Amino acid sequence: MIIILGLVILLAAVIAGLAGARRASRRGRVARRGLRQSRLETASASHERDALIDERETARAHAANQPGHGMNQRGDGMNKPGPNGPGGHDPSLQEESPAIGSRP
């Protein structure tokens, strides 16, 4: 009787172990599918980024070939702000700040 009970318990343990292995296999398959999908999305995003970079470079080359386009205030075509342009400043317009510790 004890031997039969032991065999039943052993059989139940084997069945439970197989069920756990099947579950782990399913999780691995789902993880691999997710990884494959992620790689495809990354490749697609990289391709779109490269296409946008090419479009931008083509537009810049086209604009550079147009007379009068792409020139800044200095006329060197570098599109950097001049002294009074965006981000620039005119030192003559600054107010003098009082010296630290001075009294009016």
pLDDT score, position 78: 52
Q: What is the pTM of this model?
A: 0.41
pLDDT score, position 22: 72
Q: How far apart are CA 58 and CA 50, in angstroms?
A: 12
Q: Which residues of the chain have pLDDT under 70?
A: 68-104
pLDDT score, position 10: 84
On whether residue 65 sits in a domain, the answer given is no
On whether residue 74 sits in a domain, the answer given is no
On whether residue 42 sits in a domain, the answer given is yes
Q: How far apart are CA 97 and CA 60, in angstroms?
A: 43
Split into its structural domains, the chain has a count of 1
| Domain hosting residue 50, numbered range | 32-56
pLDDT score, position 81: 53
